[in-house]
Structure 1
Amino acid sequence: MNASHDGSWTALAAHRAWLDAEADRLLRFGAAARDPRGGFAWLGADGTPDRDRGVQLWITTRMAHVFALAHLRGVPGAGPLADHGLAALSGPLRDAQHGGWYPAIPGPSEPPEGRKTAYGHAFVLLAASTLALAQRPGSRALLADATGVFEAHFWDDAHGRARESFARDWSDPEDYLGANANMHTVEAFLAAADATGDPSWLRRALRIADFFVNHIARSGWWRVPEHFTADGHVLPEYNADAKDDPFRPYGTTPGHALEWSRLLLNLEAALPDPPDWLVEAARWLFVVAVGSWDHDGHQGFVYTIDADNRPVVRARMHWVTAEAIAAAAALHRRTGDLVYEHWYRVWWDYAAQYVIDPRGSWHHELAPDNTPAATVWSGKPDIYHAYQATLLPQLALAPTAAAQLRGAR
């Protein structure tokens, strides 16, 4: 399945050592997020925890996932940090009355509770799967809880995708379907398949990808719409009055096309009999996304574009660079095509010049001139995307990172 990548940067011991050093630097920065309230705090640009904000579910899950991966890599101190995240997911972030997880442990100026989202719960499933593969105490119970909640409430087996959100008591399903939440559900299902040994999670992941990519994106020149009604109709003007929303931006998002591209290859490698369209779609999504590089005359990917392929929000997000790197590495590993190695090098050079902050972590947002900005994202909330950009290019396409690292022990 995987083509040789001799001659690539990832085949060079010096480059792999550089990736490992950058991963360790990210971990040292992220360790400061450990919050006495439980879980992990939102970090400011200087790495100081922002105690005025609540402890976010999406940050805690992603950081627990990262520290569990680091533990599997043999990084001292990472295991206790992973356990700290696990304790929050088993304690203050868990809704003991209704099941599932709260979106946050509230901060001083925040309401006590919000809706339960597929996005947040997908990351619970991802973290629980990685923690279980890392054999952290209590992780199997958390994984059983996470799989049960997702199957009972979020998985829509009739349509083969994840429902978006509910009120705390699982009433009031939202009349909305998000490609972003379903994309991360694919990621979580790949991890759940490895952690549980149950291949049904892979079949579910394929059904999600088939709808959003093979059906919707293929029919729209390989651009993935972000927003749908609950029954699957595209909402092209969704959030037209909030174009720079950090989770549901108006238009389409080139960064998500790159993320989908990599995940399709992970899924193809994991399936025993994958359909041919997975690699075809991964290539096309990458091609279309690359069209948004330097799209406004400046280096970097714009955050969003409209239906006429014009930039909407021109800020550059660190996670897009990270996902571009991971997608280029995955496509080169799968195909051996040197064009992907070219882009892998271009985007690491860009990251080193503009995105990586020598004071710690990566700038989460840059202005169009590639200077640090904070119009959409303030501070440096987590290290998940950046850390995976240092790790995934060194691994095979399947199984998931946690499963490979566990197998290497």
Structure 2
Amino acid sequence: MDETTREAVRTRARSHRARLLSVLRVQYPDALTDRGYRLLHPTTGDPYAGDRRHLVATCRSVANFAVGALADGPDWCLDAAEHGLRFLREAHRADDGGYRLVVTGEGEPVDRTRSAYGHAFALLAYARAVDAGIDGAEADLDATRDLIDDRFRADRGLLRSDCDADWTEREPYRGQNANMHACEAYLAAYEATGDSEYLDRARRVAEAIAVDFAADTGGLLWEHYTADWEHDFAYNEDEPRHQFRPPGYQPGHHAEWAKLLALLDRYERGEGEDGAGGDTSASPDWYARARELFDAAVDHGWSENGFVYTHAADGSPIVEDRYGWALAEAIGASAALAERAAARGDIDEADRFRNWHRRFLVRTDLFRGPAGVWYEKRLPPDADGDLVAQDPPGVEPDYHPVGAFFEGWRSARAELSNE
């Protein structure tokens, strides 16, 4: 790498760190309340009305501020993460160690669902807290890992579905989404602890979802499965705009998996055969598969003003709403893939991913509101492209933009360290 290129990578790292911290600065201190956090409206910046707090939003906010601390942000990043951890432990966590899905600010249960998706985010929150050096978080990380093992983790290391408060499973359903975020959480736990067992767990989930199951759908990632992990192509077919479980293929999740597989490639190649990652000789080619998923996302979903929400197997759109989180995941994926391509000396591919990265970055203004908070989505052009904010209690405290800029920052740093 010549000095001109090196300086360009340094500039990219600084730019992403600044973007990350600017997102957090919008959230702090207005998102904090006496206990836990509140979501802020993208138009006004005012807290949402009502007193319901969603487990996923709490965990994502903890992870956000912990990531700010990891990026050497101001002291308030760590303070805000610790603030949210107290609420996670005291309000969301039940006596049996499980986590309630929705509570009031006083910790009164509103929805006692034991959500696999939500528990994956609890693991992520504690992993980021451990990585940021927050006292006591490692015990919580261990306890949450054990709880997931006991209550959710089943065949092939995959998570089963949501349960009632007594841990009775609600429906014979298995979901890609909860498992994708479990993979994300396991990777974060590996980053925080160096424990290769977490890397192995992430590897198992990724191989099942992103490789094996996708072999039956032409390489695309289906979202919904039966209890025996058979593709359920009819699931929610009458609810195309379902918030968490829409029918069809989601380009945003293809981009998100591309990022996770790039991280697996980074850690496995960095460890070597005798490193903490163990013998990975039988692992898939994560880099090649990540490229395939990224290309599928842009080929089927990219529309210059965002990604369509869902599409059919032939690539025809089902729901053309453009969600901000999908754009953010593509930003992170393109950054991680550019770094992996550069690590292999694949200059043409590194340049291609950097070009996509720049294209995505200039589109962030399409989703950022006047208050600096991202809107949930834009409606398609035939619906005038109107911006839509999330409904309360909401689950997105700008977690995806923070993750995108964090990955941009550390991928650039990794590229410099690969020399």
What TM-score results when the alignment is normalised by the length of structure 1? 0.87
Q: Do the aligned partners of residues 6 and 386 (structure 1) sit closer, same or farther apart at CA in structure 2, a change above 3 Å counting?
A: farther
Q: For 1:161 and 1:28, how far apart are their aligned partners in 2? A: 36
AA aligned to 1:364 is E
Q: For 2:380 and 2:152, how far apart are their aligned partners in 1? A: 37
2:27 matched to which residue of 1?
A: 30
- Aligned match for 1:345, one of 346, 351, 358: 358
> 1:292 and 2:297 equivalent?
no
The answer on whether the counterparts of 2:224 and 2:233 sit within 8 Å (CA) in structure 1 is yes
The answer on whether the counterparts of 2:367 and 2:387 sit within 8 Å (CA) in structure 1 is no
Shift in Å, 1:351 = 1.6
Q: For 1:206 and 1:114, how far apart are their aligned partners in 2? A: 31
Which stretch shows the higher mean deviation, 15-24 or 221-230? Answer: 15-24
Question: What is the DSSP-based 3-state SS (H/G/I as helix, E as strand, rest coil) of the residue aligned with 1:289?
Answer: helix
Q: For 2:259 and 2:406, how far apart are their aligned partners in 1? A: 14
Shift in Å, 1:18 = 3.1
1:198 matched to which residue of 2?
A: 195
Shift in Å, 1:193 = 2.3
- The equivalences for 1:3-402 within 5 A come to 11-31=8-28, 32-36=30-34, 38-45=35-42, 46-72=44-70, 73-96=72-95, 98-106=96-104, 112-156=110-154, 158-172=155-169, 174-271=171-268, 272=277, 273-274=279-280, 275-295=283-303, 299-336=305-342, 337=349, 338-352=351-365, 354-369=366-381, 371-374=385-388, 381-396=396-411
Q: Do the aligned partners of residues 199 and 224 (structure 1) sit closer, same or farther apart at CA in structure 2, a change above 3 Å counting?
A: same
How big is each residue's C-alpha offset from its partner over 1:215-247, in whole Å with a ceiling of 9 and x where there is no partner?
Answer: 121332221000001210111121112111121
The answer on whether the counterparts of 2:173 and 2:225 sit within 8 Å (CA) in structure 1 is yes
AA aligned to 1:279 is Y
Which stretch shows the higher mean deviation, 26-35 or 230-239? Answer: 26-35
Shift in Å, 1:20 = 2.7
Q: For 2:63 and 2:134, how far apart are their aligned partners in 1? A: 11
Shift in Å, 1:254 = 0.3
Shift in Å, 1:21 = 2.7
Question: What is the DSSP-based 3-state SS (H/G/I as helix, E as strand, rest coil) of the residue aligned with 1:291?
Answer: helix
Which stretch shows the higher mean deviation, 44-53 or 11-20? Answer: 11-20
Q: Do the aligned partners of residues 9 and 126 (structure 1) sit closer, same or farther apart at CA in structure 2, a change above 3 Å counting?
A: farther
Q: For 2:338 and 2:4, how far apart are their aligned partners in 1? A: 11
The answer on whether the counterparts of 1:44 and 1:381 sit within 8 Å (CA) in structure 2 is no
Q: For 2:190 and 2:363, how far apart are their aligned partners in 1? A: 35
Shift in Å, 1:9 = 10
Shift in Å, 1:256 = 0.2
Question: What is the DSSP-based 3-state SS (H/G/I as helix, E as strand, rest coil) of the residue aligned with 2:92?
Answer: coil
Shift in Å, 1:202 = 1.5
How big is each residue's C-alpha offset from its partner over 1:70-99, in whole Å with a ceiling of 9 and x where there is no partner?
Answer: 123232311111011110111011001x22
Q: For 1:9 and 1:48, how far apart are their aligned partners in 2? A: 41
What TM-score results when the alignment is normalised by the length of structure 2? 0.85
The answer on whether the counterparts of 1:61 and 1:127 sit within 8 Å (CA) in structure 2 is yes
The answer on whether the counterparts of 1:246 and 1:377 sit within 8 Å (CA) in structure 2 is no
Shift in Å, 1:331 = 1.1
Shift in Å, 1:266 = 0.8
Shift in Å, 1:12 = 4.2
Total equivalences in the alignment: 390
Shift in Å, 1:175 = 1.0
Which stretch shows the higher mean deviation, 327-336 or 267-276? Answer: 267-276
2:345 matched to which residue of 1?
A: none
Q: For 1:68 and 1:382, how far apart are their aligned partners in 2? A: 14
Q: For 1:210 and 1:380, how far apart are their aligned partners in 2? A: 28
Shift in Å, 1:161 = 0.7
Which stretch shows the higher mean deviation, 267-276 or 303-312? Answer: 267-276
Q: Do the aligned partners of residues 42 and 358 (structure 1) sit closer, same or farther apart at CA in structure 2, a change above 3 Å counting?
A: closer
Q: For 2:247 and 2:321, how far apart are their aligned partners in 1? A: 14
Q: For 1:398 and 1:228, how far apart are their aligned partners in 2? A: 38
Question: What is the DSSP-based 3-state SS (H/G/I as helix, E as strand, rest coil) of the residue aligned with 2:220?
Answer: coil
Which stretch shows the higher mean deviation, 137-146 or 200-209? Answer: 137-146
Flag structure 1 segments of 5+ consecutive residues without an equivalent. 405-409
The answer on whether the counterparts of 2:112 and 2:165 sit within 8 Å (CA) in structure 1 is yes
Flag structure 2 segments of 5+ consecutive residues without an equivalent. 269-276, 343-348
Question: What is the DSSP-based 3-state SS (H/G/I as helix, E as strand, rest coil) of the residue aligned with 1:116?
Answer: coil
The answer on whether the counterparts of 1:52 and 1:107 sit within 8 Å (CA) in structure 2 is no
Q: For 2:6 and 2:56, how far apart are their aligned partners in 1? A: 32
